[in-house]
Structure 1
Amino acid sequence: MTQHIDAAAFDTGKADAFLDRVAGLVNDGAIAVMVGLGHRTGLFDTLAGMPLATSTELAEEAALAERYVREWLAVMVTARIVAFDPTRGTYSLPAEHAASLTRGASLGNLAVYAQHVGLLGQVQERLLTCFETGEGMSYDDYPCFHHLMAEDSAMTVTAGLFDHILPLVPGIDLRLEGGIDVLDAGCGQGHALIALAARYPRSRFVGYDLSGEAISHAAEVARRAGLENLTFETRDLTGYDERERFDFIASFDAVHDQKDPAGLIRGLKGALKPGGVYLMQDIGGSARLENNLDFPMASFLYAISCAHCTPVSLGQGGEGLGTMWGWETAERMLRDAGFTDVSRRVLPHDPMNVWFVASE
């Protein structure tokens, strides 16, 4: 179908500017894939620990093939990520860049999120079928997804768990020290729960997740750590209906892609003992698209929603609310579930996520 163009109304300057923008997007997408590769190979970490290095020296230090390392470095240099001295043939990673590209980075390791771009490419063919049929997908369709999410959780949850997150719940530290029953609903590989169990030996911790692979990993880590106050269970939380079992329940970025988010929240409400508290973290965007134009990494989050969270929900027979289901939707579901005291918080260092503290 040929597009009709009104020559009189066509703005050549705008068209050229948009062409440049699309070319930039394609270029940046390729860079993002290579950034993810740099994270997975440890090249950023290795280079950050070397003041200067040739491609051969970097490859030897990282135990990788030099020819591939050299081509990866070319991407990083032209992307203005890695500095290059052509007279010496040496490369370096500026400290200001390492601050957001290395493990333990002071500003947060954004190279972790770059891995999603490569993942989107791996599921593209399956996603094309979903566009045509309207069907969904399963967690098993996503290679290494739980490992990637565990890295994400380590930065957004575990790293700030004791200094920033638990203080959102008044008095919870003392209750945990005294000994209470705790559930992590949708615990993934269990990093947050393992940290809690180690910190509070008098409390008892349970982690549920749909992925048997993630649960097996979590249980093995807990076993090696000698934690006897912690159990993990592979469990589909659809129709969850335990009654008054836990004093404290948390879910970290786990509700929006459930088959029935509202039903899960009702089930978690019922599983709380009298006086219990529910802490829920999710993406902090709005339910209204127009409110998200300036939200951090909004297009990235909608892309993840399109390729993962929405099809995973639909694949379970759910509504497919998506990643950007909105804090308004989450707050409404909490109140509809019977929580009368609902507090919404955003941490200053993490504008992407929202935290709800809910109780009767």
Structure 2
Amino acid sequence: MHTTSEATEPVEKALYDVLAAEVFLERTADIINAGAQSVMLSIGHRLGLFDLMASLSPESSQQIADKAGLAERYVREWLAVMVTANIVNYDASLKTYHLPKSHAACLTRDAELGNYAVYAQFIPLMGAAQDHILRCFESGGGTKYGDYPCFHQIMSEDSEQSVVSSLFDVILPLITGIDDQLHIGIKVLDIGCGKGYALTAMAGRYPQSQFTGYDLCEEAVVAANHLAKVRDLKNIKFEVKDMATFNEQDEYDLITSFDAVHDQKNPEGLVKGIHRALRHSGVYLMQDIGGSAHLENNIDFPMASLLYSISCMHCTPISIGQGGEGLGTMWGWETAQAMLESAYFHSIKRHVLPHDPMNVWFISHKEMSHG
């Protein structure tokens, strides 16, 4: 027996490449470490610590905590994560901390390169939903928006920098002549309006036009109506509406949806409903995730693992929870384009914008465009 065991031992050891396993172990450890760093990025963003530190010269943890109005002991522990993650510089002799301008350029609310700390918030959000998702894996069921704390706040921040910041200079000009039409006065609908950042920006700029926003989530609609009231906008309204029952006809000149179609109960039915709701010369502006429907095409897509994770933890179960098929975040631009064509839209044009490589923008006309 002893001889047999010795003979089989080398075979067992040869079942995998030990060096490759050790390299992968290190990668796994890096993934876990980066996940922890992401949670701390989220905390730094929500507490305004990055915004504060971007304006400071090297300071002690007590000075930073005092200026932030926070408890020093917690700030010091957070700073330790930032230092070991090579985000914040640390002078051990002076015990001071400094956020370099080159790092602040993607971590503050006015960051030149976009505030990537906003996206870090998805990591703790997904962690908070983990028990719900475990049950979904076992039952095949879905979730509801109330299962995700702060979801609409995160999406509003994302919208502010990916949509609102470029709305008038880059996005709306994709539609020939729309600026003039909006100034003259047309009817606009935004589907899945969230907290209404994009639509209120448009309503403020174009007082002659009428704007309506629909969203399934009451919390988001309450916040959107409050924003409209604060800005004293008389040409806008927000309503709670389940888009599975959307059935209007020849009502709007422009319909928009910003990252809102793929997690609907019936995306294809909604796109057809949008076609019906447009007037004969109407236009549909659709933003959604720009990944492919084919996994092999997304290997090098920006932040693909994050997007598939958000799909698994939020977009897919939200759709299934409404009785939908659960297309998921990475349903693919090909699927979106096929739905637009199936709904009999014309002159469909697909755009990927330099400031927003993760998303795709479709401009589709109800009737054949002659522009």
TM-score under structure 2 length normalisation: 0.95
Corresponding residue of 1:93: 99
Partner of 2:75: 69
Q: 2:140 aligns with which of 134, 139, 160?
A: 134
- Paired position in structure 2 for 1:188: 194
Given the alignment, which residue of 344, 349, 353 partners 2:355? Answer: 349
Corresponding position of 1:58: 64
**1:11, distance to aligned residue in structure 2 (A):** 1.2
Pick the aligned partner of 2:185 from 169, 179, 192: 179
1:10 positional shift: 2.1
Structure 1 residue 51: deviation in Å? Answer: 1.2
Alpha-carbon distance in structure 1 between the residues aligned to 2:238 and 2:84 = 46
Is 1:103 equivalent to 2:109 in the alignment?
yes
Runs of 5+ in structure 1 lacking a partner?
none
Tell me, in whole angstroms, the C-alpha distance in 2 between the residues paired with 1:228 and 1:6. Answer: 74
Q: Which amino acid aligns with 1:29?
A: G
Secondary structure of 1:351's counterpart equals strand
What TM-score, normalized to structure 1?
0.98
Aligned to 1:145: 151
State the alpha-carbon separation in 1 of the partners of residues 210 and 110 from structure 2: 29
Query: What do the CA deviations read for 1:323-349 (whole angstroms, capped 9, x no partner)?
Result: 000000000000001102110000012
Name which of 310, 320, 325 aligns with 1:304.
310
C-alpha distance in structure 2 between counterparts of 1:226 and 1:145, whole Å: 26
Partner of 1:227: 233
User: Is the 8 Å Cα contact of residues 283 and 354 (structure 1) preserved in structure 2?
Assistant: yes
Q: Deviations over 1:66-119 (max 9, x none)?
A: 000000000000000000011111101000100000001100000000010001
Range moving further from structure 2, 9-18 or 216-225 = 9-18
Correspondence for 2:211 among 205, 211, 233? 205
The question of whether the paired residues in 2 share the 8 Å contact of 1:279 and 1:357 is answered with yes
In structure 1, how many angstroms separate the alpha carbons of the residues matched to 2:116 and 2:242? 31
Aligned to 1:265: 271
1:197-219 CA-partner distances (Å, limit 9, x unpaired): 00001111000001111111111
Count matched residues.
Answer: 356
Distance in 2 (alpha carbons) for counterparts of 1:9 and 1:82: 43
Q: For 1:327, which of 333, 343, 355 is the aligned residue?
A: 333
What is the letter of the counterpart of residue 105 of structure 1?
Answer: A
**Structure 2 counterpart of 1:249, from 243, 255, 259:** 255
Aligned residue for 1:213, secondary structure, equals helix
Which residue of structure 1 lines up, in the alignment, with residue 294 of structure 2? Answer: 288
- Per-residue deviation at 1:350? 1.2
CA distance in 2, matches of 1:323, 1:136: 15
Corresponding letter in the other structure for 1:171: G
Report the CA distance between 1:6 and its aligned residue.
Answer: 4.6
Matched-pair contact (CA < 8 Å) for 1:239–1:263 = no
Deviation at 1:172, TM superposition (A): 0.6
In structure 2, the partner of 1:275 is 281
